[in-house]
Amino acid sequence: MNTKHIAAAVLFAGSLVITACGGGEETRKVPEGVKMPENAPSAEGGAAAGLITAADITLGEIDNAMVEKGKTTYDVKCQACHSTSENRVVGPGWKGITQRRKPEWIMNMMLNIDVMLESDPEAQKGLEQCLVRMPNQNLSKEEGRQVLEFMRTL
């Protein structure tokens, strides 16, 4: 990739960061390994607003209809910053991501990026490496699950 392409990708990602908006509010338990800051939104029992847990995700055989919808979402909202190979564009490449990260962690990075970047050490490490904050793409849980299903095929 030449310097022109990298600069264009960084500018595009920066514009996405500026225009990104927040998502909905729901109550979930904090996923294993995520350290919530003291000022994080919470509900009874220390549950953080909107976070996905392992109990929220059921993985079985690959669902090809979900894969196709997830790929469409990827094409529209994700491919400017993420490749389907191991190569980093702005953000990390997705090939093998489901072997390196738990499904709930992946879903929370898509749906709850602000909480993850504030509280999760691995998400913070990724931000330090990529130097660009992932924008909130305002995906629904269903869209996030479809993208996860697409990721499982990579």
CATH of the domain at 73: 1.10.760.10
In a domain, 137, yes or no: yes
Q: What pLDDT is recorded for position 11? A: 46
In a domain, 29, yes or no: no
Instruction: Summarize the confidence of residues 32-43 as an average pLDDT.
Output: 42
pLDDT in tens, 75-98: 999 999 999 999 999 999 999 999
H or E element in which residue 49 lies: strand 48-49
In a domain, 39, yes or no: no
CB 25 within 8 A of CB 49: yes
CB 57 within 8 A of CB 145: yes
Measured over the CA atoms of residue 7, residue 12, residue 18 and residue 24, the dihedral's sign is negative
| Rounded-to-integer distance, Cα 25 and Cα 9, Å | 31
Name the residue with higher pLDDT: 42 or 121: 121
In a domain, 40, yes or no: no
CB 80 within 8 A of CB 9: yes
Total tally of structural domains belonging to the chain: 1
In a domain, 89, yes or no: yes
In a domain, 33, yes or no: no
Q: What pLDDT is recorded for position 6? A: 52
In a domain, 10, yes or no: yes
Indicate whether this model's pTM tops 0.85. no
Residue 132: domain span: 3-23+52-152
Which among 36, 83, 27, 62 is positioned nearest to 145, based on CA atoms? Answer: 62
In a domain, 9, yes or no: yes
